[in-house]
Amino acid sequence: MRSILLVMIFLTTPAVADDQGQYKYREGIMQSIRGQMSALGEIMRNKVQAENTLTHARAMSDLAAILPGVFSKGSDVAKSETLPAVWEEPEKFKEATDEFITLTTEFLHAVEKDGDVSGTFRNLQKSCKSCHDKFRE
**Residue ranges that bind ligand HEC, judged by CB under 6 A:** 23, 26-27, 30-31, 33-34, 37, 80-82, 96-97, 100, 124, 127-128, 131-132, 135-136
Decide whether 11 or 78 has the Cβ nearer to ligand HEC.
Answer: 78
User: Who contacts 59 (Cβ-Cβ below 8 Å, separation ≥6)?
Assistant: 32, 36
Nearer to ligand HEC, 74 or 115 (CB): 74
How far is the C-alpha of 107 from the C-alpha of 124, rounded, in Å? 8
Closest distance of CB 94 from ligand HEC, Å: 9
Between CA 67 and CA 74 the distance in angstroms is 16
Which residue, 13 or 31, has its beta carbon nearer to ligand HEC?
31
Check: CB of residue 101 under 8 Å from CB of residue 33: no
Q: Which amino acid is at 56?
A: H
CB of 24 to ligand HEC, least distance (A): 9
∠ CA 19-34-115, nearest 5°, is: 135
> Toward ligand HEC, which CB reaches closer, 114 or 133?
133
Least distance (Å) from ligand HEC to the CB of residue 6? Answer: 30
> Cα(106)–Cα(40) distance, rounded to whole angstroms?
15
What minimum distance in Å lies between the beta carbon of 48 and ligand HEC? 18
